[in-house]
């Protein structure tokens, strides 16, 4: 078997094209959506991701507001920029690029954000709304994964999804989305403390690999025909970027997201969706 490709680039392009029309409708009402980003430090990966987010904004007509601080920035300096973005009327939604430098209390920074401007769906209020089933911004990578599966007609209803990784951006929240009535999946969350990871993975109809451990998912752990989503990014011994999924998995899986070109572009597209939806909510509230 050679897996069918879950093409994130093409799916994200379709989402962005639909968003352009929604942005034009907002602009016609005098509302200009604007995405703010706060980047602390000069990590090449984070710098690249933030640049990509602004390129996407330009494509759909969302304005860009960029704030940058050196990696020596203190908690207070970071919080001061968060307060500025909370107050900036041109910034209708924003993100704090993660991870923040060592020594910074990330939760304190996220909690300080205005929840109405949370474009990442990572504010405690947004996560709480997700638990309660109330409308709000959805976490970008988890919802991007669901959109990618839907777009390729991969059955989620009734599927057993095994997630590997318990980080805040993917592992912790994806189960909340997948177990909603609208998705109706059964989710097992695995992590470094899971005793027999291969045994858990062999049960999966869908695997979400978000551990950040290069080539962790081997072909022999995958049920033939399963859908496999490669979220992780890490470097091998030679410094080359690798995903969490061993290339041999393509011979066993029914569906496979490439990395790059799979979940990454979907994460960015969902961020734009959150910005546009927040601006639409604000426009409705204004009447």
Q: What is the 3-state secondary structure (H, E, C) of 158-214?
A: CCEEEEECCCCCCHHHHHHHHCCCCCCCEEEEECCCCCCHHHHHCCCCEEEECCCCC
Question: Is 265 a residue that touches ligand LMY7XDAE (CB under 6 A)?
Answer: yes
Instruction: Return d(Cα 13, Cα 225) in angstroms, integer.
Output: 27
Task: Return the exposure string of 220-234: e unless at least 16 CB atoms fall within 10 Å of the residue's CB, then b.
Answer: ebbbeebbbbbbbbe
Give dist(CA 76, CA 69) in Å, integer.
Answer: 12
Q: Side-chain half-sphere of 143: how many Cα atoms within 13 Å?
A: 20
Question: Cβ closer to ligand LMY7XDAE: 248 or 261?
Answer: 261
Q: Closest distance between ligand LMY7XDAE and the C-beta of residue 281, in Å?
A: 20
Query: Can residue 260 be called a binding residue for ligand LMY7XDAE (CB under 6 A)?
Result: yes
Based on CB atoms, which residue is closest to ligand LMY7XDAE, 151 or 160?
A: 151
Confirm or deny that 166 is annotated as ligand binding: yes
> Is 53 assigned a catalytic role?
yes
> Which window, 44-52, 190-198, 210-218, 278-286, contacts ligand LMY7XDAE (CB under 6 A)?
44-52
Judged by CB under 6 A, does residue 95 bind ligand LMY7XDAE?
yes
Q: Site for ligand LMY7XDAE (CB under 6 A): which residue of 31, 98, 189, 282?
A: 98
- The CA distance from 22 to 20, in Å, is 5
What phi and psi, each to the nearest 5 degrees, are found at residue 51?
-60, -40
Work out whether the CA dihedral 159, 244, 173, 126 comes out positive or negative.
negative
| Residue whose CB is nearest to ligand LMY7XDAE in the complex, by number | 264
Structure tokens at 250: 């393509």
Q: Is 120 a catalytic residue?
A: yes
Stretch that binds ligand LMY7XDAE, among 69-77, 153-161, 256-264, 272-280 (CB under 6 A): 256-264
**What separation in angstroms does the CA of 46 have from each of 101, 211, 245?**
11, 18, 22
Q: Which of 53, 147, 244, 270 is catalytic?
A: 53
User: With CB under 6 A, what is the number of residues at the site for ligand LMY7XDAE?
Assistant: 18
Sign of the alpha-carbon dihedral angle for 191, 145, 136, 108: positive
CA angle 237, 239, 243 (to 5 degrees): 85
Contact call for residue 120 and ligand LMY7XDAE (CB under 6 A): yes
SS3 call for 245: strand
In the complex, what is the shortest distance from the CB of residue 98 to ligand LMY7XDAE, in angstroms, rounded to a whole number?
A: 4
**DSSP assignment string, 121-151:** S-SHHHHHHHHHT---PPPHHHHHHHHHHHH
User: Residue 261 corresponds to which tokens in the numbers above?
Assistant: 């070109």
Q: What binding mask, one character per residue, do residues 53-92 give for ligand LMY7XDAE by CB under 6 A, x or -?
A: ----------------------------------------
Q: Min. distance of Cβ 180 from ligand LMY7XDAE in angstroms?
A: 20
Least Å from the CB of residue 203 to ligand LMY7XDAE: 27
Sequence ranges of the binding site: 165-167, 233
Q: Which residues are annotated as a binding site for NADP(+)?
A: 165-167, 233
**Would you tell me which residues interact with ligand LMY7XDAE (CB under 6 A)?**
48-49, 52, 95-98, 120, 140-141, 169, 259-261, 264-265, 267-268
List the catalytic residues. 53, 97, 120
């Amino acid at each position: 078997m050679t897996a069918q490709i879950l093409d994130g680039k093409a799916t994200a392009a379709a989402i962005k094209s639909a968003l352009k029309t929604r942005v034009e409708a907002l602009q016609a009402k005098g509302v200009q959506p604007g995405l703010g980003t706060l980047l602390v430090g000069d990590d090449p990966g984070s710098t690249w991701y933030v640049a990509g987010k602004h390129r996407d904004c330009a494509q759909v007509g969302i304005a860009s507001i960029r704030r940058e601080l050196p990696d020596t920035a203190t908690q207070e300096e970071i919080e001061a920029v968060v307060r500025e973005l909370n107050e900036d009327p041109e910034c209708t939604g924003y993100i704090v690029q993660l991870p923040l430098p060592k020594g910074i209390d990330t939760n304190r920074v996220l909690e300080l954000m205005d929840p109405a401007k949370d474009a990442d769906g990572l504010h405690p209020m947004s996560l709480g709304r997700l638990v309660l089933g109330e409308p709000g911004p959805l976490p970008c990578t988890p919802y991007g994964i669901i959109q990618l599966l839907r777009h390729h007609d991969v059955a989620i209803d009734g599927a057993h999804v095994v997630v590997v990784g318990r980080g805040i951006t993917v592992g912790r929240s994806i189960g909340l989305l997948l177990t909603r009535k609208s998705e109706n999946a059964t989710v097992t969350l695995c992590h470094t403390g899971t005793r027999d990871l291969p045994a858990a993975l062999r049960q999966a109809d869908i695997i979400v690999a978000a551990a950040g451990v290069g080539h962790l998912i081997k072909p022999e752990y995958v049920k033939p025909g399963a859908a496999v989503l490669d979220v992780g990014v890490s470097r091998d011994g030679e410094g080359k970027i690798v995903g969490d999924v061993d290339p041999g998995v393509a011979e066993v899986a029914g569906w496979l997201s490439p990395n790059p070109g799979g979940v990454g572009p979907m994460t960015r597209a969902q961020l734009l969706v959150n910005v546009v939806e927040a601006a639409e909510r604000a426009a409705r509230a204004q009447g």
